[in-house]
Chains A and B, each alone.
Chain A
């Protein structure tokens, strides 16, 4: 029976291919000159170069963090290429986009052209650090929404970027965030002005391409008073043997009564079944509920990467603000995930909900790590946390590290946790009723993740279900 389960969860990575495009690449290693090179390549203003250099100074003084429940060989930060871009060409329309790129998107099933139009999805495609095509920009611009690459935003809306960049995740916040602040090459910028409800889901597809190029995306989303937006991030990467570092930073700012929903489906290359290769995903994601009655909701489905180190968090500063975290993390083979959230209650009557579902298969290691902190002024703060783990097979592990720090006696904090196992007896129960093992596993997993999938936008929920299916399907018997 263990062989049945093994087959079910051991599906080769389906998106492993490399696109052959001449890349313009910086020499390996990191120093001030490289940072100046990145900044110069991107024609950045002085303040941004200063921002980068300040971050770099911080980074030099910081120790690499080792508290996460993950293990990997020491990363040689001088062996990484910090800048790599497709050769710059002037692009006006989709027709002028490199056909190789388009073919790649096709293989991935990225909804770019008609598909984007049909699905009503605006896609800002990040391809090896530089944004090559942005659709729907004009349509969004009609209602005053800015949705573009962060490089364009720096050029076209420097004041907005300068005001908010680093305001949620300061340059010296943590080791990887400092690194990202020093060397980020591109990412997405989204600004929803006062009172505007974004008329469509905004979507970015990330893809890591050049071998050994670290990826340092930077995303900044600002929703002004009463604005709302739903943002989708989907990721997939080609197959490589050497580990690739990915250290993104995502900052969200919600002003009074603003509402930001950020959904991620992550399926980066996880390494082979022996644990060789795969992406190191060390991401800092944080949202600031700055205004009264604002709301930030994170939903993530994490199925890829060799190592995931990621804690999408909410700082609930405004009174009556709401933070939510819905997560499914699936690990297989030798994958390691240490993921969770931080809910920092500062304002009065702030509310947070944490629903975390961890699925471990193979020899993988899946940890939930979460902090619920209630400050002394957070009268009436409430939190509900539920952390469920599911084990498939006998060689994987799941851990839960909930930290609770309450400094206000009127706060109400609840934590529930369960651990279950897809065992022989559960599978036999399905099979005895005529249902095959593969369908049984898929039904159990989807049932287990239901509360999280319900939070995803419709198309994404379908995609997420499929993704778990791909991870768990295989020849049975």
Chain B
């Protein structure tokens, strides 16, 4: 929902970043206010995933220019874990497996760390179990998930649902979901989208990084951005996504280059 008076959560100005010495982001600008849903689309290699990694603080990416403010704070000064505690969440495109560490232990440590940083009470294992079961229901997840290793042996769809479960538990202000729709069948897509919609409030914002319009029929964006060669080259509303689905990216990219 667009509200002109809502506070600005994320302000990205002329952001430049490299990975392994190659410049991927070349002057990216984006403003996200509370309550908004943004979709970032664009051809392969345009820098969409790099953008999510840079915002969340992946150490392999080096910021070479520009600034990123989160609730007015300089986000680039913060370590990845500090950004997470401040309320930045990244739903991974490829969630890693962590054998031997149970999902419930991982979730509880993450939850309590984030709660502690926000000056809120931590939960003991029993209290946390109640919370996590309630959230798992939201995503129609079998509670048996909780006793398994983090993402260990999960199918692609289960991993993505697990990402949204973590989002539900950590209650971030800004969630960046990197191709959360990839690898999901239509039922799983509906469940995941439904979960994201239920978690969305007037105080939170969401950035959906996706290739396909499909996800956007379930989670309706307020803005649709097209990225190319490390910059946002076009911004529109949900109608733009439909147009891209029909016409591809070339016309946008060519117009931007002209």
Q: Measuring CB to CB, which residues of chain A are less than 8 angstroms from any residue of chain B?
A: 1, 4, 420, 424-426, 428-437, 439, 443-444, 446-450, 477
Q: Which residues of B contact A1 (CB under 8 A)?
A: 59-60
The secondary structure that dominates the A interface is: helix
Give the distance to chain A from B76, nearest Cβ to Cβ, in Å: 15
Q: Interface code B44-73, partner A: CB below 8 Å = 1, 0 otherwise?
A: 000000000000111110000000000000
Total number of residue pairs linking A and B with CB closer than 8 Å: 76
- A434 near B117 (CB under 8 angstroms)? yes
Any A CB within 8 A of the CB of B239: no
Most-contacted residue by chain B among A426, A429, A437 (CB, 10 A): A429
Q: Measuring CB to CB, which residues of chain B are less than 8 angstroms from any residue of chain A?
A: 56-60, 79-81, 83-85, 89-90, 92, 95-96, 98-102, 105-106, 109-110, 113-114, 117, 149, 166, 170
Q: Which residues of A contact B83 (CB under 8 A)?
A: 432
A-B pairs, top 7 by smallest CB distance, nearest first, are A447-B100, A433-B110, A447-B101, A431-B80, A434-B84, A434-B114, A431-B81
Select which of B95, B99, B109 is within 8 A of A429 by beta carbon: B95
- B100 near A434 (CB under 8 angstroms)? no
- B149 near A447 (CB under 8 angstroms)? yes
Q: Which residues of A contact B98 (CB under 8 A)?
A: 426, 429, 444, 447
- B101 near A424 (CB under 8 angstroms)? no
Give the distance to chain A from B54, nearest Cβ to Cβ, in Å: 12
Q: Which residues of A contact B80 (CB under 8 A)?
A: 428, 431-432
Q: Which residues of B contact A436 (CB under 8 A)?
A: 81, 113
Q: Bound state CA distance, A4 and B149, in angstroms? A: 25
Q: Bound state CA distance, A261 and B83, in angstroms? A: 48
Give the distance to chain B from A28, nearest Cβ to Cβ, in Å: 48
Q: Bound state CA distance, A250 and B42, in angstroms? A: 66
Given contacts A432-B81, A432-B89, 13 further A-B contacts (CB under 8 A): A431-B81, A432-B80, A432-B92, A433-B84, A433-B110, A434-B85, A434-B113, A434-B114, A435-B110, A443-B101, A444-B98, A447-B100, A448-B99
- B58 near A435 (CB under 8 angstroms)? no
A426 and B79 in contact (CB under 8 A), knowing A434-B110, A443-B105?
no
Give the distance to chain B from A173, nearest Cβ to Cβ, in Å: 36
- B100 near A444 (CB under 8 angstroms)? yes
Between A and B, 7 residue pairs with Cβ closer than 8 Å are A432-B56, A433-B166, A434-B114, A437-B81, A439-B109, A443-B105, A443-B109
Smallest CB gap from B116: residue in A = A434
Q: Which residues of A contact B99 (CB under 8 A)?
A: 420, 447-448
Q: Bound state CA distance, A248 and B95, in angstroms? A: 47
- B81 near A434 (CB under 8 angstroms)? yes
- B96 near A426 (CB under 8 angstroms)? yes
- B100 near A433 (CB under 8 angstroms)? no
Q: Which residues of B contact A425 (CB under 8 A)?
A: 96
Give the distance to chain B from A132, nearest Cβ to Cβ, in Å: 41
Q: Bound state CA distance, A429 and B149, in angstroms? A: 14
Q: Which residues of B contact A444 (CB under 8 A)?
A: 98, 100-101
Q: Which residues of B contact A420 (CB under 8 A)?
A: 99
Q: Bound state CA distance, A1 and B106, in angstroms? A: 21
A431 and B84 in contact (CB under 8 A), knowing A443-B105, A444-B100, A447-B99?
yes
